[in-house]
Amino acid sequence: MKRGMFVIIFALIAIISLPAFAETVVDDVRIVNTSALDPFEYQKYLDDDDLRSLAGLSVSENPTLFPTIESFEVRQTKSELEFHGSIDPEKEALEFISMPYYNEVGKYDVAVVKPDGSIERYDKEVVIDYQERTIKTYDSLSVEEGDVVLLFAKEYVEIVFGKEERNTIGEGRTTTASRGQQPGRPGGNNNGNNNNGNNGRP
């Protein structure tokens, strides 16, 4: 009798617990360093196939493409996602950027690649401060199990006395080039006249 009661109680606990486990989302949030893509790739708009390809790559095998930013924090409540990040120029020579749509007007700050290959893009829910190099959610993003969340960054370029100081990732040095000689990158213009991380955001 006691054994039967124990089995029934255990079954009830399991049933009650199911909704809680169902609301737990295993998500994958990664920052894409667009400057680590080859010149042709990062000068064009990333289309849906590009985003799916980025979502399918291993983060651990591509640390330059998917850099770790120490102050980046992700919070998840049920099926909603919030994040906040601030890039320290002394530690990471990067800046957050917006991405232009492929063959469309406008831009987006975050892309979510779904398990079925469909893609959702977010703009108004996310805020990028280009001067402070921060990114945060204004409204929570809806995510489901298997979703891959992509945020975007590029190597930081600072205008100093008419020249661009380009911080080279992983090489511990800074290279200088005359204004106008740097290739265009997603989220910016192609004439080298970006101003302190403005990135051409409308």
Task: Reply yes or no on whether the pLDDT at 170 is more than 60.
Answer: no
- pLDDT for the residue 10: 36
Q: Backbone phi, then psi, for 118, in 5-degree steps?
A: -70, 160
Range in 53-67, 82-96, 150-164, 167-181 with the lowest mean pLDDT: 167-181
More confident residue, 109 or 23: 109
SS3 breakdown of the chain: % helix, strand, coil, rounded to 5?
A: 20, 35, 50
pTM attached to this predicted model: 0.67
- pLDDT for the residue 105: 85
Residue 23: both structure tokens together: 């609301």
